[in-house]
Structure 1
Amino acid sequence: MTTPKSKKVLISGASIAGPTLAFWLAKYGFMVTVVERAPGLRLGGQNIDVNGPAKHIARKMGIEEAIRAANTGELGLQLIGQDNQVAAAFPKEGAMSGTQELEIIRGDLVSILYERTKQNVTYWFGDSITALEQQPDQVRVTFASGKTDTFQFVIAADGIRSRTRRLMFGQEPIFEYLGLYTAYLTIPRQETDNDWWRWYTAVDRRIVMLRPDNQGTIRASVAFLAAEQAYDNFSSADQKQLLKDTLAGAGWETERIVNALDEVSDVYFDKVGQIKAPRWFIGRVGMIGDAAYCPTPLTGKGTTLAMVGAYLLAGELASQQDYQAAFMAYEKRMRPYVEEVQKLPPGVPWLVYPRTPLGVSLLNTVAGIVASKPVQGVFGLFTSAKSKKESQDDGIVLPDYRESSSLI
């Protein structure tokens, strides 16, 4: 017989994967605590999309309309040429647009998930896990605050730089660097801005993007190729100076971003890579989301993997008689999907980071041809059947788990 104490679960991380897992576990009768290192919700971030199976999960959670109401209003993708002209445009409703139906700022989704779970889930802000001791029927946890507690399971959902993962698996998971550094920041909106996702490719392997939000500001990002260890351990001031140096002479709106760097505090700067882990669970502890299988923003599927993984793990824990069988069933469902999502086309990201003016011109010319009405019409004929199929299964089956748990 399962007692409430034996069903205590601790989740590290209050971003997307953690609260989604907390929602479903609480729904299935588990006592769930989410611990978050930050003193409150981290509401910053860039545009993300809730697509494919994540959209189905959002509907099951009753948050689809809240996500839709917080839509960024993005109209589609425009590639900007060297003379500030629109070299190619891919409208939201088109066959190849990067803008999805449920486009939302990351912090808005975090807030929606928190509001949906706070009545049935305990949140501890301003604390973190410092030690884990696995015992036969529980895990003893020590926190940075000095308090200790025991839980039946502990799940790391605290991102690609997860410290909890290190306590569980050491250096076993691999960070596979993709040759790319990126920075994100929020800048003031100007009258010349529009509601398109604008992508500008500069010479010397640099890309700048400006995207609208629903808060009257613009989400800017900068990406460039560099050696993996080139900028490790840079201070915030060093990172800002690096970005200024990187953007020097790049053209378009880059001077605007350089000027904004001195005024903003929410600059996120990091290298881009994928997390590859041979296992996601050991005993009664494990990991989900970016901590376990970050696919990188290049795939556009980070939010999808986070929500799908959370839904499947909670469902298996609720429906299996044995927790080890639950973990195995979860991984059997999830790992093939993760491996498929993490596959990148040959030459990515290097192909879209040309070094010379000629390379940039060729890239924009090809994009313009692909975006033309004749090509889009033909492409639409070939993708309609695929889109219909994906609307049915989205690459992974989401079982309809029963709302009961017999876990021991």
Structure 2
Amino acid sequence: MTQRLESLTQQLLEAARRAGADAADAMAVSGSAIDIDVRQGKLEQAERSEATDLGLRVLVGQRQANVSASDTSTNTIETLAARAVAMAKEAPEDPYIGLADPSQLATDWDAAALELWDDAPEPSPAELQEDARRAEAAALAQSGVSQVQAAGASYGARHIWLAGTNGFSGGYTRTSRSTSCVAIAGEGLGMERDYDGDSRVFQSDLRTPEEIGTLAGQRATERLKSRKPPTGAFPVIYDERISSGLIGHLLAAANGSMIARGSSWLMDALGKQVLPESITLTEDPLRLRTQGSRPFDAEGLPTRARNIVENGVLTGWTLDLATGRKLGMPSTASAARSTGGGPSPTVTNLSMTPGTITRDQMIAEMGTGLLITSLIGASINPTTGDYSRGASGFWVENGEITYPVNECTLAGNLRDMLMTVTPANDIRPWLSRVVPSLRVEGLTIAGA
């Protein structure tokens, strides 16, 4: 399969040259996926997809254009290249675009060593259906669960190849296997729902359907009889399931595209403290058996581990080649792209320094406040960091969970919030975003 994708990218580059492109890069992705949903013990939906997608970026002087197609015929490739060049000639000039210099390119990598591909046989639809059925049955077995909204299992495999007229050519493959369950507890207006799921590169690492369904059911029943919390300023704990979203706001503000546009609340924060001194945020695209891993980025640069925040200090922006040139900095090998678009800076695998206490100990130490297990909507001002989100979870008094909470709003400023973060030790190291539960002090809660 990879040989065919390599051949397709070379055909795209040759066609782009013939059409008049000064430079070009091409991407070919071939994949298959199976998705199975079960309801009331019976098959609800089954989907299988197989496709090969092509993407081509051409440069004519300092102008560029991107085109894509799912037809791999020679005629389509020639037409695609001609249209891309015609589009590029009409595009505005951008002094910062351009392929990587050959000296910057990855030349020696071992994609197999990252363990992104599971050699186990592809599961049959019947096997996936049985996994979904078992998850649903486990959820329904929990006292208080009235129905299961969704129980599903899926498998996917992708082959990726990237090549450019600068001499780069390389690819890798990846697989994924997942099971999920959404359970509903209660009846009528008192219904509550919650979920659990797991997704892994290797099927043998996946948690059992029974564990997933049971936890989804337990979480749903725990939310019964929810009510609003009091209004005021209280400490808040972001459960490990959602805590990466809070850190994601920092990552978005440290993205080179935001900095280059001058629209980030972290504009003046480079080299300054943005998190407590005990915390380091590390991006590592080379972690084994992790879905965000890759041996090179979408511009062919070798990936490597780097600290985005070190001992609480912001050390740099997330950059691809173009944003790096705009800011006078080298790329951090963080370019990502799809077949339908050009490169853009993106963080892949992230890990945060865990704390030394459990989530339960953190709850006990908090005294009175809110444990958040779900977030709803968002209103984030990217230039000021003002933060407002709907939330639900559990109210804590005297260090103990007292009742479930629904329909409240959190408000604060991200710059202030992140400086008060205290992490627990409940990380799941196989995730692409490894962030523990986080306690944040003094958020304003609008409840009853």
TMscore range, shorter length = under 0.3
Q: Name the structure, 1 or 2, with higher relative contact order (CA <8 Å, separation 6+).
A: 1
Relative to its length, the structure with more helix (as a share) is 1
Q: Tell me the TM-score normalized by structure 2.
A: 0.24
